[in-house]
């Protein structure tokens, strides 16, 4: 793996033909330390956001001991990468074989569920184990979030009582979990979800040992500047303190994006310009799935030895495949004189970026390099505004 000071250092030295993922280990370490030190409970990394073994080891070394896994392949990955890690199987719909193997081969004891059928599956697959932590997933609103997770999973508050009572019977420890949706822009999302948790506990009259507020903690993107994470942690702490749970109850969270977004960016090359459209060498089937399919705006910077003096203009991107859908609308603000042959750094791609890459149409790159400059924006440095797109520092 190469090591460089920055995107510019690498572009100048290597003129890479394929997209290069730029890794910032120090940024991942900083994010993990922040959660370990400031979240008022346990932070469990949601592996799907970025399953890179290097990142898993960095998080482990920074004090993240628990991992949220959603498939047997993620269970195996974490087992082999971090043999002492604790795994929580938080996908509410699992194959019975996956539960069996997670429990008997990999020591997983924590499972989530949102139906009686799934509870029965877990009991069968574990031979009615008596050491389970079972987390009932409540459906909550995604109104404050940029990516909804409200339709697919979760038991409605009005149907939760019988499920909570049945899970209480089967569990050693009973949990309630939810997910407010990804990139939650206000702490109010968690406050409202906690109100549903309270109502569900009161109605079911069960003793709850774990309250898991899930993921959704935001990062900074153009046009999306959330309040500081401390505001989320404070609101969650206060809501948790007022819940009718046992004195020894634990508070958990499952950050994915917040622990991984700042870890990586991608250096791409412009292969062609057509008006305000740039044809670049990464796209919807590579690290830019979210930019194409949900219109996510990632920060961009032109990477040139002599900074452009031109004013910023709004561009859209086409990816390298032959597919019209391989289009990222942006807008991405770049100097007006950007041209074929230029390099662009696309920031904040550590979360849901490289994790989504395919090899469609023969376009794939797993080239990486470590850089030691700061990410384009950081929730952990108190950044409040986007960095200007025409400033490039070596
Ligand atoms: C995706 C997911 C997460 C992580 O969500 P972020 O928005 O990336 O923090 C956490 N928990 C569950 C159950 C998930 O599905």
**Most informative mutation of 48, 59, 88, 211 for ligand 1 (most atoms within 8 A of CB):** 48
DSSP string covering 292-340, please? HHS-----EEEE-SS---SPEEEEEEE-SSS-TT-EEEEEEEEETT--T
pLDDT at 393: 36
- Non-local (6+) Cβ contacts of 259 within 8 A are 28, 31, 32, 35, 43, 45, 49, 59, 64
Identify the CATH class of 25-260. alpha beta
**Most informative mutation of 91, 218, 256, 263 for ligand 1 (most atoms within 8 A of CB):** 256
pTM reported for the whole predicted model: 0.95
CATH classification number, 2-22+263-371, choose in 2.40.37.10, 3.40.190.150, 3.40.50.1370, 3.40.50.10490: 2.40.37.10
Is there a contact between 363 and 281 (Cβ–Cβ < 8 Å)? yes
Tell the residue nearest (CA) to atom 3 of ligand 1: 215
DSSP string covering 20-41, please? EEEE-HHHHHHHHHHHHHHSSS
Please write the tens of the pLDDT for every residue from 113-131: 999 999 999 999 999 999 9
Nearest atom within ligand 1 for CA of residue 184? 7
pLDDT at 3: 76
CB atoms under 10 Å from CB of 119, counted, come to 21
- Please tell me the distance from the alpha carbon of residue 146 to that of residue 185, in angstroms, as a whole number: 8
Please write the tens of the pLDDT for every residue from 373-383: 999 999 998 76
- What separation in Å is there between the alpha carbon of 208 and the centre of ligand 1? 22
Domain map of the chain by residue range?
Answer: 2-22+263-371, 25-260
Nearest atom within ligand 1 for CA of residue 145? 7
- Non-local (6+) Cβ contacts of 337 within 8 A are 308, 310
- What separation in Å is there between the alpha carbon of 130 and the centre of ligand 1? 27
Taking only the tens of pLDDT, the chain with its 394 residues reads: 567 899 999 999 999 999 999 999 999 999 999 999 999 999 999 999 999 999 999 999 999 999 999 999 999 999 999 999 999 999 999 999 999 999 999 999 999 999 999 999 999 999 999 999 999 999 998 889 988 888 889 999 889 999 999 999 999 999 999 999 999 999 999 999 999 999 999 999 999 999 999 999 999 999 999 999 999 999 999 999 999 998 899 999 999 999 999 999 999 999 999 999 999 999 999 999 999 999 999 999 999 999 999 999 999 999 999 999 999 999 999 999 999 999 999 999 999 998 999 999 999 999 999 999 999 999 998 765 444 444 443 3
- What separation in Å is there between the alpha carbon of 143 and the centre of ligand 1? 16
Please write the tens of the pLDDT for every residue from 250-281: 999 999 999 999 999 999 999 999 999 999 99
pLDDT at 246: 87
pLDDT at 1: 57
Q: Is 182 helix (H, G, I), strand (E, B) or coil?
A: strand
Is there a contact between 215 and 257 (Cβ–Cβ < 8 Å)? yes
- What separation in Å is there between the alpha carbon of 4 and the centre of ligand 1? 32
**Most informative mutation of 50, 68, 136 for ligand 1 (most atoms within 8 A of CB):** 68
- What separation in Å is there between the alpha carbon of 145 and the centre of ligand 1? 12
Ligand 1 pocket, CB under 6 A: 46, 48-49, 68, 90, 179, 182, 214-217, 254-258
- What separation in Å is there between the alpha carbon of 139 and the centre of ligand 1? 14
**Most informative mutation of 35, 112, 254 for ligand 1 (most atoms within 8 A of CB):** 254
pLDDT at 93: 97
Q: Is 25-260 the same fold as 2-22+263-371?
A: no
pLDDT at 388: 46
Nearest atom within ligand 1 for CA of residue 48? 1
Nearest atom within ligand 1 for CA of residue 49? 8
- What separation in Å is there between the alpha carbon of 294 and the centre of ligand 1? 17
* Overall size of the chain counted in residues: 394
Rg (CA), the chain: 22
């Amino acid at each position: 793996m190469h090591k460089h000071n920055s995107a510019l250092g690498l572009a100048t030295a290597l003129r890479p033909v394929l997209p290069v993922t730029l890794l910032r280990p120090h940024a991942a370490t900083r994010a993990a330390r922040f959660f370990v030190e400031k979240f008022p409970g346990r932070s469990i990394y949601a592996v799907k956001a970025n399953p890179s073994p290097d990142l898993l080891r960095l998080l482990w070394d920074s004090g993240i001991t628990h991992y949220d896994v959603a498939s047997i392949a993620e269970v195996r990955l974490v087992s082999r990468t971090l043999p002492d890690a604790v795994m929580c199987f938080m996908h509410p719909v699992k194959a019975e074989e996956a539960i069996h193997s997670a429990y008997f081969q990999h020591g997983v004891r924590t499972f989530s569920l949102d139906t009686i059928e799934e509870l029965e599956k877990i009991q069968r697959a574990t031979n009615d184990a008596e050491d389970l932590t079972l987390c009932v997933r409540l459906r909550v609103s995604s109104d404050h979030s940029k990516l909804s997770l409200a339709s697919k999973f979760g038991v409605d508050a009005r149907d939760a009582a019988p499920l909570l009572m049945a899970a209480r019977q089967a569990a050693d420890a009973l949990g309630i979990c939810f997910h407010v949706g990804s990139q939650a822009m206000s702490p109010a999302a968690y406050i409202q979800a906690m109100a549903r948790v309270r109502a569900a506990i009161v109605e079911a009259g069960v003793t709850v040992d774990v309250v898991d507020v899930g993921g959704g903690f935001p990062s900074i993107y153009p046009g999306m500047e959330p309040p500081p994470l401390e505001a989320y942690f404070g609101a969650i702490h206060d809501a948790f303190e007022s819940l009718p749970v046992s004195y020894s109850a634990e508070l958990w969270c499952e950050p994915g994006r917040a622990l991984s977004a700042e870890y990586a960016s991608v250096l791409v090359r412009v292969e062609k310009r057509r008006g305000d459209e740039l044809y670049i060498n990464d796209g919807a089937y590579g690290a830019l799935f979210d930019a194409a399919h949900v219109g996510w705006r990632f920060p961009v910077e032109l990477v040139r030895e002599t900074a452009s003096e031109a004013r910023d203009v709004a561009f859209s991107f086409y990816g390298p495949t032959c597919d019209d859908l391989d289009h990222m609308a942006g807008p991405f603000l770049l100097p007006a004189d950007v041209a074929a042959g230029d390099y662009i750094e696309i920031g904040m791609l550590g979360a849901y970026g490289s994790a989504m890459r395919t090899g469609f149409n023969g376009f794939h790159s797993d080239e990486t390099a470590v850089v030691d400059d700061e990410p384009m924006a950081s929730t952990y440095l108190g950044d409040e505004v986007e960095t200007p797109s025409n400033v490039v520092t070596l």
